[in-house]
């Protein structure tokens, strides 16, 4: 039988050990013990929101725990990204996002960011890659990019294009720079308004995420004249690349990725990386991506961080070439 002194000593040891167990490797073995929140920087029902919800459901099926999508919209993704950076690094808040836009492009597009795109996150996994589509109205007069370009040259600063995301803005400005166009940007907060103006010929074109545009192109409501990539992707092999149509200065390929707040325990990062690597190449994922105009692009933390650093430098060059003023 333990003496009173032995009992007190055992209790003291346990009180020291419990915080370690709660925050250390032992606790990671029980993860996840409750629902996980996946941060989405787009409004519900948007093409990108559907993208996030697809991966959230796949993660839910793999882990056996509910994954709740949290929509944090605004400021070209900065609100969602800041929210993720400030979240508790316990494995219960992750971000599924277009990392090329929300992270790699951010420091070149904004004067001041409330987060460090490279150092304030644990970079978990790459998912897919896709170029944006340069789209015009499906029943409009422009069948080829040279036809659109000739029209915009004639219109000068009376012509306009729509912008929805960082990738689309830069892709459009690089197109303008290539051909010396003075076309004016019109900003949109959501895709529906942009499409309505495109259909009504209030704007001439827009670079649109294929996750949203693909169905409209297939239905004939939109016509895709080119992608923002230098080479054709498998999922969009019937659409000319930027290089095919003479936009030599543009090779923008957006990529989707998974991130967590800095300090996320390594065992949790490793498990998430493994699960998302399996999700990225699953047959139903490949079909979903093909239908969305995307190709699988799996990769772990090292590959993701290397790409993030390289693309951050590349975006600085794109923004300079396109002569885009930083947003305050």
Tokens coding 324: 């885009």
Backbone angles phi, psi at 289, to 5 degrees: -65, -45
Mean pLDDT of the chain: 89
Which residue has better confidence, 164 or 103? 103
Tokens coding 141: 């007069």
Distance between alpha carbon 218 and the CA centroid of its chain, in Å? 23
For residue 24, give the DSSP letter.
S
Query: What does the pLDDT read at residue 319?
Result: 86
User: What's the rounded Cα separation, in Å, for the pair 125 and 193?
Assistant: 33
Stretch 240-248: mean pLDDT: 96
Q: What tens digit of pLDDT does each residue of 221-235 get? A: 999 999 999 999 888
Distance between alpha carbon 227 and the CA centroid of its chain, in Å? 17
- Count of beta carbons in the 10 Å neighbourhood of residue 141: 10
Please list the alpha-helical segments (H only) found in the chain: 4-23, 25-28, 47-63, 78-85, 99, 106-109, 145-155, 166-179, 191-199, 210-219, 266-280, 283-291, 301-322
Class of domain 133-236: alpha beta
Under 8 Å between Cβ of 207 and 195: no
Tokens coding 264: 């996320």
CATH architecture of 35-130+254-322: 3-Layer(aba) Sandwich (3.40)
Report the predicted TM-score, pTM, of the whole model to 2 decimal places: 0.80
Query: What does the pLDDT read at residue 28?
Result: 55
Provide DSSP, 57-80.
Answer: HHHHHHHTS-EEEEE---GGGHHH
Q: How confident is the model at residue 165 (pLDDT cuts 50, 70, 90)?
A: confident
Min mean pLDDT across 46-50, 91-95, 160-164, 229-233 is at: 46-50
| 115 burial level (CB within 10 Å; 0-12, 13-18, 19+) | buried
Query: Among residues of the chain, what percentage have pLDDT more than 70?
Result: 91
**222 bridge partner residues:** 137
Is there a shared CATH topology between the 35-130+254-322 domain and the 133-236 domain? yes
Q: What tens digit of pLDDT does each residue of 101-160 get? A: 999 999 898 999 999 999 999 999 999 999 999 999 999 999 999 999 999 999 999 999
Q: Which of 288, 287, 260 lies closest to 273, judged by CA?
A: 260
Q: How confident is the model at residue 191 (pLDDT cuts 50, 70, 90)?
A: confident
Query: Long-range contacts: 61-68, Cβ < 8 Å, 24+?
Result: 62/275, 62/278, 62/279, 63/32, 63/36, 63/275, 65/32, 65/33, 65/34, 65/35, 65/36, 66/35, 66/36, 67/35, 67/36, 67/37, 67/38, 68/35, 68/36, 68/37, 68/38
Under 8 Å between Cβ of 125 and 256: no
Is a pLDDT exceeding 90 seen at residue 98?
Answer: yes
Query: What does the pLDDT read at residue 14?
Result: 39
Report domain extents, the chain: 35-130+254-322, 133-236
Which residue has better confidence, 167 or 1? 167
Which residue has better confidence, 86 or 47? 86
């Amino acid at each position: 039988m333990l003496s009173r002194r032995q009992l007190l000593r055992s209790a003291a040891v346990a009180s020291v050990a419990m915080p370690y167990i709660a925050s250390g490797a032992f606790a990671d073995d029980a993860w996840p013990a409750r629902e996980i929140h996946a941060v989405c920087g787009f409004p519900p029902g948007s093409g990108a929101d559907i993208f996030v919800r697809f991966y959230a459901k796949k993660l839910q099926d793999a882990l056996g725990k509910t994954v709740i999508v949290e929509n944090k919209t605004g400021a070209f993704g900065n609100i969602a990204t800041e929210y993720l950076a400030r979240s508790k690094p316990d494995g219960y808040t992750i971000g599924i996002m277009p990392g090329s836009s929300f992270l790699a492009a951010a420091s070149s597009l904004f004067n001041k960011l409330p987060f460090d795109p490279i150092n304030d996150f644990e970079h978990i996994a790459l998912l897919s890659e896709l170029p944006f589509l340069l789209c015009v109205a499906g029943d409009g007069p422009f069948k080829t990019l040279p036809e659109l370009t000739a029209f915009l040259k004639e219109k000068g600063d009376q012509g306009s294009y729509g912008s929805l995301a960082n990738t689309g803005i830069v892709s459009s400005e690089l197109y303008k720079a290539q051909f010396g166009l003075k076309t004016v940007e019109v900003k949109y907060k959501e895709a529906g308004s942009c499409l309505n103006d495109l259909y009504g010929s209030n704007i001439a074109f827009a670079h649109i995420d294929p996750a949203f545009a693909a169905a409209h192109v297939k239905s004939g409501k939109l016509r895709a004249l080119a992608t923002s990539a230098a080479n054709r992707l498998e999922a969009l092999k019937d659409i000319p690349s930027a290089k095919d149509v003479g936009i030599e200065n543009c090779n923008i390929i957006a990529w989707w990725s998974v991130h967590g707040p800095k300090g996320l325990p390594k065992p949790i990062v490793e498990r998430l990386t493994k699960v998302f690597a399996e999700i990225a190449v699953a047959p139903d994922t490949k079909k979903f991506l093909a239908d969305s105009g995307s190709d699988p692009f799996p990769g772990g933390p090292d590959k993701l961080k290397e790409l993030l650093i390289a693309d951050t430098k590349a975006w600085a060059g794109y923004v300079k070439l396109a002569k885009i003023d930083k947003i305050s």
